[in-house]
């Protein structure tokens, strides 16, 4: 079945540090890949969508890259701020099945 | 601005009781979903509902059932709750299936004593 593996459970950074989160996926179909962010007390919201046709996406200073050869996709931000503290999920969509989420990475940024 | 509404915010109940959670979206979307988020923040799809077609995650126990009156509403009923049902239940909607962004509600936190 479909799966998404997100290894980093927790990342602690200082402001202006570099953030990098990596995910790999497995599917038999043609997935669309996403990054969602969840702030405390809220539901997840879309941060970036990376389709297999385009290898990159960017939003709010975050950039997502996708490598079809290794079936991996990454999220990065050059200089994080305290407001970026949240849980970040990689996710994969395969038609009507809903989203398959990674385990989530809790990012804590300290001033 | 919130466009996916969930009620209640919290619910505490005892083992064996029946509970029902409501979800409404005002985005005009055709597809709605229920997800379960456990205490470790793991998110898992439970149901998706599109044009009266229900797709069920095979791991969902039969005591869970979605209920829809129209495409803007998708409620969740749990017939006889178990302690492992304690979680946050998140409703979401999207314009269609597959490539479309999903919009999530704030969630309903269920605690089973």
The residue written with tokens 């005892």 in the block is B14
| CA–CA distance, A98 with A34 (Å, rounded to integer) | 12
pLDDT for A29: 76
Mean pLDDT, rounded, of chain B: 92
CB-based contact B42 A49, cutoff 8 Å: no
Chain A residues touching B4 at Cβ < 8 A: 43
Question: Could you tell me what percent of chain A has a pLDDT over 90?
Answer: 62
Dihedral (CA of A49, A59, A109, B107) sign: negative
Chain A residues touching B48 at Cβ < 8 A: 96-98
| CA–CA distance, B89 with B93 (Å, rounded to integer) | 14
Of chain B residues 64-83, which have a CB less than 8 A from chain A? none
Asked if pLDDT for residue A53 goes beyond 80, the answer is no
- Find the CB nearest B42 among A46, A99, A103: A103
Chain A: residues touching B (Cβ < 8 Å): 32, 34, 38, 41-46, 49, 51, 87, 89, 93-101, 103-104, 106
CB-based contact B107 A43, cutoff 8 Å: yes
Asked if pLDDT for residue A19 goes beyond 90, the answer is yes
pLDDT tens digit sequence for A35-51: 999 999 999 999 998 86
Closest CA to B17 of B83, B109, B88: B83
Q: Which residue has the higher pLDDT, B90 or B51?
A: B90
Residues A41/A25, Cβ–Cβ less than 8 Å: no
> What is the DSSP secondary structure assignment for residue A78, as one 8-state letter?
S
| CA–CA distance, A11 with A101 (Å, rounded to integer) | 18
Question: Could you tell me what percent of chain B has a pLDDT over 90?
Answer: 76
| CA–CA distance, A54 with A7 (Å, rounded to integer) | 24
Asked if pLDDT for residue A80 goes beyond 90, the answer is yes
CB-based contact B45 A103, cutoff 8 Å: no
CB-based contact A103 B57, cutoff 8 Å: no
Q: Which residue has the higher pLDDT, A108 or A65?
A: A108
Chain B residues touching A89 at Cβ < 8 A: 43
The helix/strand/coil state of B84 is helix
pLDDT tens digit sequence for B39-51: 999 999 999 898 7
| CA–CA distance, A51 with B11 (Å, rounded to integer) | 38
| Residue B95 CA from chain centroid, whole number | 17
């Amino acid at each position: 079945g479909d799966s998404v593996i997100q290894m980093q459970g927790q990342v602690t950074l200082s402001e202006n540090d570099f953030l990098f989160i990596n995910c790999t996926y497995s599917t038999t179909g043609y997935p669309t890949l996403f990054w969602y962010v969840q702030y405390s007390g809220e539901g997840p919201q879309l941060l970036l969508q990376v389709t297999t046709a385009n290898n990159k996406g960017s939003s709010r200073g975050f950039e997502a890259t996708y490598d079809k050869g290794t079936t991996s996709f990454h999220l990065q931000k050059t200089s994080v701020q305290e407001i970026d503290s949240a849980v970040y999920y990689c996710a994969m969509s395969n038609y009507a099945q809903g989203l398959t989420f990674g385990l989530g990475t809790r990012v804590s940024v300290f001033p | 601005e919130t466009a996916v509404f969930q009620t209640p915010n919290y619910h505490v109940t005892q083992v064996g009781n029946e509970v029902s959670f409501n979800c409404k979206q005002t985005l005009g979307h055709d597809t709605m979903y229920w997800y379960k988020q456990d205490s470790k923040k793991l998110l898992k799809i439970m149901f998706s509902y599109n044009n009266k077609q229900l797709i069920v995650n095979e791991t969902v126990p039969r005591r869970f059932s979605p209920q829809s009156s129209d495409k803007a509403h998708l409620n969740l009923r749990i017939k006889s709750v178990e302690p492992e049902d304690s979680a946050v239940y998140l409703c979401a909607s999207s314009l269609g299936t597959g490539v479309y962004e999903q919009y999530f509600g704030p969630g309903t936190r269920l605690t089973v004593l």
